[in-house]
Amino acid sequence: MKDWLHRHLEQVRLTLSRPDALLMLVMIGLLAGILAGGVIVLFRLVVEGTLAELLPGQYEENFEGLPGWLRLLLPIAGGLAIGLLFHWKANGQTLMGVGRVLERLTYHQGYIGFREFLLQFAGAAIALVSGHSVGREGPHAYLGAAAGSLLGQHLSLPNNSIRTLVGCGVAAAIAASFNTPLAGVIFALEVVMMEYTLVSFLPIMLAAVSGNAISILFLGAAPAFVVPALEMGSLQEMPAVMVLGLLTGTVAACFIHLSQAFSRYGKGHPFWCQTTAAGLVVGICALFAPEVMGIGYDTVNSALIGEYGLTALLLILCFKVLATSACGGLGVPAGMVGPSLFMGAIIGGIVGHLMELWFPEVSSSTTFYVLLGMGAMMGASLQAPLAGLTAMLELTHNPAVVMPGMLAIVVANLTASELFGKESIFITLLRSSGFDYRTSPVLQALRRIGVGSVLKKDFRCHDRMIRRTSAERLLKEEPEWLIVEEDKRPVALMHAVDLARHLQNAQAEEGGVDEIDLMAIPAWREQIAPISIQANLQQALEQLEERSVESLYVESASATGRYRIYGILTREQIESAYHY
């Protein structure tokens, strides 16, 4: 039974190494979505259950009900606890959230370890329970990505498939966070995978559906935000929508710039000092505006129904930007998506109040501007305009917001990226942590193809010393390549035709030797290096450069622990696969 299962899994792995293994990827993506959805449900139950026990009143995030001294000390204590946890257990790794997922995808083929999974779970839970100005969506995305990655690693799937499973986990996690499966798909493709292909699209869609279904099953179908019915009053409001986009883009750029500044300040200090300092900033801000603590969905819902006045909104916005920038820049392991929606809602509320004050005859409800601000801020700070628009559409189930939403998001994105020259908050924090983030269409194409789908299997292995009769028998099998071995390990690659030519020349000579040294006869030979069957073509190309060789042999450990050679991979094959 074990041998049958091993052979079956081996065939699955070879199938998944192809860039067009759609049906198999969809099935694995469904499993990853279910697993990621279960992880998110567990995380939310832990955090929400703890908050219900800790905070007074009947509201999940009633940090406003705490006395001032506790609002000051709680984030400080949480920051210290996070810092000490990572100091003792993280082995120097402090970057978490979506930025860490991007780094693992870019440089490590999406491999995420179980230790990091546990650190993200515990660190984010402490941050949210202690009232740090962060969101749960970043940790959700990381935990979902880790669930998909660990599933792929457990099954020893090829790396191109593990990358897709990371995207599946992210989509399922975001879908489970907001009950917005389409926004989860777009977020995974636009922010994390940064590609739109059929082979990645369908598994990620099914993963988002399954993750959302698991969330609804255990947590119910209640939306994250309660949005009243709304629509734009007239086209006369379009200038106000553009102004909203401009203000949102400016605040997004300020938020990203402050996060960079805090990150630069934190360098050179112990991590526990950074997270404790972040808690201190949050605590001070919470003395003046307790709404900045926690995820803040209750505050967003209040803004949607217009409960805050103009002065209160301005105060909350200033302190929220400062507190969230400190948390993001100083390394608190939680998310930036929730705070971006919070800040966007407050900006929209400010514009809505001003419109009601100055142009009451043409102004729509404040709710309309709050929602536009949420989409615009998410799009500008994450540099993910389509994800922002999709989230806005799914939250309202109202296509009337699409046209003004598109305008607000475009203006906000252009303001942040072109006017102020800011990249997304994730890439900014990634670079601030010392990682040189780069990607390109060529690398994306190479990452989608596993070595198992392009290798050549027409080869034979033999020790460098071979008898004439053995060589003749070997050539009767008509292999294209010969792998020359010493001490049971490959050392060179040669064409079988060169051995055949040598035998013909030796037959024409009298008294030819019976034993042939494959490393001594006239032949075209190249040094050869190993690569795992799980690798993709990007890794193969990097291996060729690092080892200064022209060919690779693709190998994998068998069920008995012995290594098996699957085939040969040359530089020409890699280039041909990419061009094809």
Model confidence at 124: pLDDT above 70: yes
Most confidently modeled range among 170-179, 242-251, 504-513: 242-251
- Asked if residues 371 and 304 have their Cβ atoms less than 8 Å apart, the reply is yes
Model confidence at 8: pLDDT above 70: no
End-to-end CA distance of the chain: 39
CATH superfamily for domain 450-579: CBS-domain (3.10.580.10)
Model confidence at 18: pLDDT above 90: no
Residue 58: band (very low, low, confident or very high) from pLDDT cuts 50, 70, 90: low
Give SS3 for 521.
coil
Given this chain, do its domains 235-432 and 450-579 carry the same CATH topology?
Answer: no
Q: What is the DSSP string of 102-141?
A: HHHHHHHTT---HHHHHHHHHHHHHHHHTT-S-BSHHHHH
Structurally, at CATH architecture level, domain 235-432 sits in Orthogonal Bundle (1.10)
Domain residue spans of the chain: 2-225, 235-432, 450-579
Question: pTM for the full model?
Answer: 0.86
* C-alpha 106: how far from chain center: 10
Give 180's contacts (C-beta < 8 A, 6+ positions apart).
174, 212, 224, 390, 391, 394, 395
Could you identify the residue written with the tokens 């049958």? 4
Residue 245: band (very low, low, confident or very high) from pLDDT cuts 50, 70, 90: very high
- Min mean pLDDT across 141-145, 480-484, 514-518 is at 514-518
Mean pLDDT of 431-455: 76
Length of the chain (residues): 580
Structurally, at CATH architecture level, domain 2-225 sits in Orthogonal Bundle (1.10)
DSSP 536: B
